[in-house]
Amino acid sequence: MQRKTPSCVVFSHGYEESDALRKLSTLAILLAATAFLAGARLPPRGPMPEPRPDAGQATSPTSPSSEKAQPPAPEEVPAPQPKPDVKNPEEPASSRPPAPQAAPSKPGPAEPMQGPPLPPGSPESSQPPEEAKPPGEQTLEEQNLTIEPESDAEHAECTAALQSLGVVFKDTPRIDDGNGCGIDKPIIVSEALPGIKLKPEATIRCPAALALARWMKDSVIPAASAALPEQGRITTVNQATSYMCRLRNGAGTGKVSEHARGNAIDIASFHFEKGEDVAVRSRREDSTLTAAFQRTVSAAGCLYFTTVLDPESDAAHETHFHLDIIERKGGYRYCH
């Protein structure tokens, strides 16, 4: 007996054929879509952008909102105008815009006119000369000097130091002799140290008297004891000049003397208990102890005074020591 082929086999073949047809149709659709997309192109002209509200291109209220603004033609763009301060030689003056007027400026000083010298007595001729006299050629009146003020506190401190050293002095009223000559707080010294008279009495400033007392105590007395012990102690210091209103070295022109300000004193000699006075004079070639004493106290003077001039300095100081306390820049001292 023969068996029949099952019907499920025929169904299986039919299913496979329909599945293959579906795949072929899908592939055909994909190929057609690819061909369509490959042939697609952008439009030749895209939409124009609308102008911004602040672009200055106002749209007419009657024009439709869909109307697109067109860029201005090249001939409608205004040509740039030259700056007002730039002059164009080819452009007539009438076609240029007027330049803005600046605010009126203040008139400056007029320049002096050139011409012949003015006659004497005219206002312009009374002006000072271009070159004034140098200080070395000015008189005391021409220098317009003033008296230097002194601090009350510094003066009190100085007089206290004098009292501690035993200096005999007294205050005296302010001196003003005009032309800058004078002392704001002068004193009169009668004894440089206890038992050592100052003859004649010296009118000077307190700082000068203090320098004199310290020089005598620390240098002059010890030098005299070492060089001239047989003459005993110093009893008197003879001074030639203290305060005096004049220029340096008594000249008619030049710088003012420190004597005119109370800052200087001239020492002429020393008097001892025994023997002769030791006068200040040129002793350059003198090899005696007296000469050694003089040279010693002259050199030591620069420890206390800012200026020391002895008989070896110049002819104006052949007979005395000039001692002053002028203040110079940087604390500079001049000792000769």
User: Regarding predicted confidence, which is higher, 147 or 56?
Assistant: 147
- pLDDT band with cut points at 50, 70 and 90 for residue 69: very low
Q: How far is CA 177 from CA 112, 146, 169, 225, 246, in A?
A: 42, 10, 22, 41, 10
- pLDDT band with cut points at 50, 70 and 90 for residue 44: low
Check residue 247 and give its pLDDT.
93
- pLDDT band with cut points at 50, 70 and 90 for residue 176: very high
| pLDDT digits 0-9 by tens, 181-204 | 999 999 999 999 999 999 999 999
User: Regarding predicted confidence, which is higher, 250 or 107?
Assistant: 250
The encoded tokens of residue 5 equal: 């082929």
Q: How far is CA 10 from CA 7, 13, 18, 19, in A?
A: 5, 5, 13, 15
Q: Mutual orientation of helices 206-215 and 152-165 as an angle, nearest 10°?
A: 30
- pLDDT band with cut points at 50, 70 and 90 for residue 59: very low
The encoded tokens of residue 30 equal: 């994909």
Q: What is the mean pLDDT of residues 237-246?
A: 97
Check residue 64 and give its pLDDT.
41
Q: What is the mean pLDDT of residues 279-292?
A: 94
pTM of the predicted model as reported, rounded to 2 decimal places: 0.61
Check residue 251 and give its pLDDT.
86
Check residue 26 and give its pLDDT.
73
Q: What is the mean pLDDT of residues 279-289?
A: 94
Check residue 68 and give its pLDDT.
45
3-state secondary structure the chain: CCCCCCHHHHHHHHHHHHHHHHHHHHHHHHHHHHHHHHHCCCCCCCCCCCCCCCCCCCCCCCCCCCCCCCCCCHHHCCCCCCCCCCCCCCCCHHHCCCCCCCCCCCCCCCCCCCCCCCCCCCCHHHCCCCCCCCHHHCCCHHHCCCCCCCCHHHHHHHHHHHHHHCCEEEECCCEEEECCEEECCEEEEEEEECCEEEEEEEEEEHHHHHHHHHHHHHHHHHHHHHHCHHHCCEEEEEEEECCCCCEHHHCCCCCECHHHHCCEEEEEEEEECCCCCEECCCCCCCCCHHHHHHHHHHHHHHHCCCEEECCCCCHHHCCCEEEECCCCHHHCCEEC
User: Regarding predicted confidence, which is higher, 215 or 91?
Assistant: 215
Q: Is the pLDDT reported for residue 162 higher than 60?
A: yes
**Pick from 69, 96, 68: nearest CA to 84:** 96
Highest mean pLDDT among 69-73, 99-103, 323-327: 323-327
User: Regarding predicted confidence, which is higher, 76 or 297?
Assistant: 297
Check residue 328 and give its pLDDT.
94
Check residue 39 and give its pLDDT.
57
| pLDDT digits 0-9 by tens, 97-126 | 455 455 555 555 444 444 445 555 544 444
Q: Is the pLDDT reported for residue 134 higher than 60?
A: yes
Q: Is the pLDDT reported for residue 317 higher than 90?
A: yes
Mean pLDDT computed over every residue of the chain: 78
Percent of the chain with pLDDT over 70: 64
Give φ, ψ of 267 to 5 degrees.
Answer: -105, 125
